[in-house]
Amino acid sequence: MSARTTAETEPGAGDGDGGSGRGDGAGAGKAAATAAARKREQHGWYFYDFACSVYSTSVLTVFLGPYLTAVAKAAADAEGYVHPLGIPVRAGSFFAYAVSASVIVAVLIMPLVGAVADRGGRKKPLLAAAAYTGAAATAGMFFLGGDRYLLGGLLLVVANASLAVSMVLYNAYLPQIAAPDERDTVSSRGWAFGYTSGAFVLVLNLVLFQGHDSFGLSESMAVRVCLASAGLWWGAFAIIPLRRLRDRTVVREPGAGAPVSGWRQLIATLKDMRRYPLTLSFLLAYLVYNDGVQTVISQASIYGSEELELEQSTLIVAVLLVQVLAVVGALGMGRLARTHGAKRTILGSLAAWGLTLAAGYFLPARTPVWFFALASMIGLVLGGSQALSRSLFSHLVPAGKEAEYFSAYEMSDRGLSWVGPLVFGLTYQLTGSYRDAIISLVVFFALGFVLLARVPVRRAVEAAGNPVPERI
């Protein structure tokens, strides 16, 4: 099946004296050098989140959806339809369909890339290819003028799929650069770096957008500059992790064949996971509660604008507030995990998510201060629940299969989060109330809580053949 890494895969393996013929000074020197090299890799690893999170925040969350929809409407016929590949599509739905198409492409590619990375042991060239393909596609959004909606859809598909693939490879480094007892902290810092850059660049983008006249730009040109700047930022800061991360040598297992198609590789990965049923149990719990998280992220603005009747400027400030407080939440929950363990901390965050949605149900309309309070609650639990889920899963992955297993994890994160929006939409369709729709999402956090609580994580780590941290 998959290639196995050498002992070098586990940080700290072989550290210390090492035995025959060497004094304590030599062993201590080697240990110090190994620790310094690991810290250097970790610092470089943080910067990939710093690089790519700007795309998620400025491009996907704020600017691209409304702008690409406007471009599609400019190209629409008298009935409001565009015709990509001769298929009639309502212009207002084009962005959503493009996002769906990017998910399909990512699902096809991620397992294949994960298998190639594990078998060849060369994640870094693949990470570079994915990062710079995505960055180039994002920078190319500068050219989305006039009625070029097809170009916009294509660039969105390429950028989104590239981001998903790069995150598989990026996450797969975590077990290799962090010892078991430090993964919660390292993962949390990565998320914090990402939220920090997202908030910083979004502030710059909003200054440019709000004051476009004073900069001599049209509103359309300002949006295009904001879109392109995210791609330039992504590409520029991706240099740091690509310089600092290093590939590990691997020993190929007998019978390890050539990579196969994405779907066949996914099936093969899931079949292999049956040997680790507790890892699968965690992945199922994550799939459920993360579906709720992703739905809240994508639908909160609709709830704010349609049900609470808030202005666009209020929603943008709320997005910034979430970004800033997510940094605090990620670091704070990372500290909690050191004393209470990642599983208990995640369970606490899921309870907080449920209480947050219940509070959101009762928010009064046209009252921004309460919406900001809701955004604050979301920000504080968002970063930590995501960061600790990633670090906890890293303990459940068999050595040598990091990228392959993280491709399944990434699809749970990005490729399979469609049930929540469906429940949200159906609830609104049946009741006509966005309040009912938002409260319906509590079921995802409640069910995820129950499923995660039933996973014996210490046994799961042992079953995967990994050392068990003191706190998990």
Under the banding of pLDDT at 50, 70 and 90, the label for residue 384 is confident
Burial class (CB in 10 A: 0-12, 13-18, 19+), 23: exposed
Given a contact cutoff of 8 angstroms between Cβ atoms, the answer to whether 154 and 138 are in contact is no
pLDDT tens track for 299-342: 777 788 778 988 767 877 888 888 888 888 888 888 898 889 99
Given a contact cutoff of 8 angstroms between Cβ atoms, the answer to whether 300 and 378 are in contact is yes
Across 54-81, average pLDDT: 86
Question: Which of 56-70, 143-157, 302-316, 377-391 is predicted most confidently?
Answer: 143-157
Given a contact cutoff of 8 angstroms between Cβ atoms, the answer to whether 189 and 328 are in contact is no
Q: Tell me how far apart the alpha carbons of residues 377 and 381 are, in angstroms, rounded to a whole number.
A: 7
- Runs of H (alpha helix) within 274-367: 277-302, 312-340, 342-361
Bridge partners (DSSP) of residue 250 are: 5
- More confident: 285 or 7: 285
Smallest CA-to-CA distance from 200 within 402, 354, 53 is with 53
pTM (predicted TM-score): 0.73
**Single-letter amino acid code for the residue at 338:** R
Taking CA 213 as the corner, what is the angle to CA 206 and CA 321, rounded to the nearest 5 degrees?
15
Report which DSSP code applies to 60: I
Q: Tell me how far apart the alpha carbons of residues 448 and 454 are, in angstroms, rounded to a whole number.
A: 10
- More confident: 160 or 5: 160
Across 157-180, average pLDDT: 89
Smallest CA-to-CA distance from 444 within 225, 244, 294, 261 is with 294
Given a contact cutoff of 8 angstroms between Cβ atoms, the answer to whether 454 and 323 are in contact is no
Given a contact cutoff of 8 angstroms between Cβ atoms, the answer to whether 112 and 262 are in contact is yes
pLDDT score of 31 more than 70: no
H or E element: which one contains 269? helix 262-273
Given a contact cutoff of 8 angstroms between Cβ atoms, the answer to whether 271 and 456 are in contact is no
Q: Tell me how far apart the alpha carbons of residues 423 and 296 are, in angstroms, rounded to a whole number.
A: 12
pLDDT tens track for 341-354: 999 999 999 999 99
Under the banding of pLDDT at 50, 70 and 90, the label for residue 13 is very low
Bridge partners (DSSP) of residue 90 are: 81
pLDDT at residue 6, as a whole number: 36
- Runs of H (alpha helix) within 55-182: 64-75, 94-120, 123-139, 149-172, 174-177
Given a contact cutoff of 8 angstroms between Cβ atoms, the answer to whether 205 and 60 are in contact is no
Across 123-127, average pLDDT: 92
pLDDT at residue 415, as a whole number: 54
| Interacting residues of 37 by C-beta distance below 8 A, sequence separation 6+ | none
Q: Tell me how far apart the alpha carbons of residues 373 and 300 are, in angstroms, rounded to a whole number.
A: 13
- More confident: 297 or 377: 377
Q: Tell me how far apart the alpha carbons of residues 246 and 156 are, in angstroms, rounded to a whole number.
A: 30
Bridge partners (DSSP) of residue 4 are: 251
Q: Tell me how far apart the alpha carbons of residues 109 and 441 are, in angstroms, rounded to a whole number.
A: 30
> Within a 10 A sphere around the Cβ of 39, how many other Cβ atoms?
12
Smallest CA-to-CA distance from 301 within 4, 63, 8 is with 63
- More confident: 259 or 149: 149
pLDDT at residue 18, as a whole number: 42
> Within a 10 A sphere around the Cβ of 89, how many other Cβ atoms?
20
Helices 402-410, 368-395: inter-axial angle, 10-degree rounding: 150
pLDDT at residue 263, as a whole number: 59
- More confident: 393 or 100: 393
pLDDT at residue 360, as a whole number: 92
pLDDT score of 69 more than 60: yes
- Token pair in block for residue 151: 């170009």
Given a contact cutoff of 8 angstroms between Cβ atoms, the answer to whether 262 and 401 are in contact is no
Q: What SS3 state is found at 82? A: strand
| Interacting residues of 394 by C-beta distance below 8 A, sequence separation 6+ | 171, 174, 175, 178, 183, 187, 402
Percent of the chain with pLDDT over 70: 87
Q: Any idea which of 109-113, 215-219, 386-390 has the lowest mean pLDDT?
A: 109-113
| Interacting residues of 310 by C-beta distance below 8 A, sequence separation 6+ | 304, 366, 368, 371
Under the banding of pLDDT at 50, 70 and 90, the label for residue 7 is very low
Smallest CA-to-CA distance from 165 within 426, 465, 414, 352 is with 414
Q: What SS3 state is found at 385? A: helix
The alpha carbon torsion through 278, 282, 284, 285 (nearest 10 deg) reads 140
Under the banding of pLDDT at 50, 70 and 90, the label for residue 1 is very low
Q: Any idea which of 27-36, 109-118, 226-235, 269-278 has the lowest mean pLDDT?
A: 27-36
Given a contact cutoff of 8 angstroms between Cβ atoms, the answer to whether 116 and 404 are in contact is no
Report which DSSP code applies to 245: -
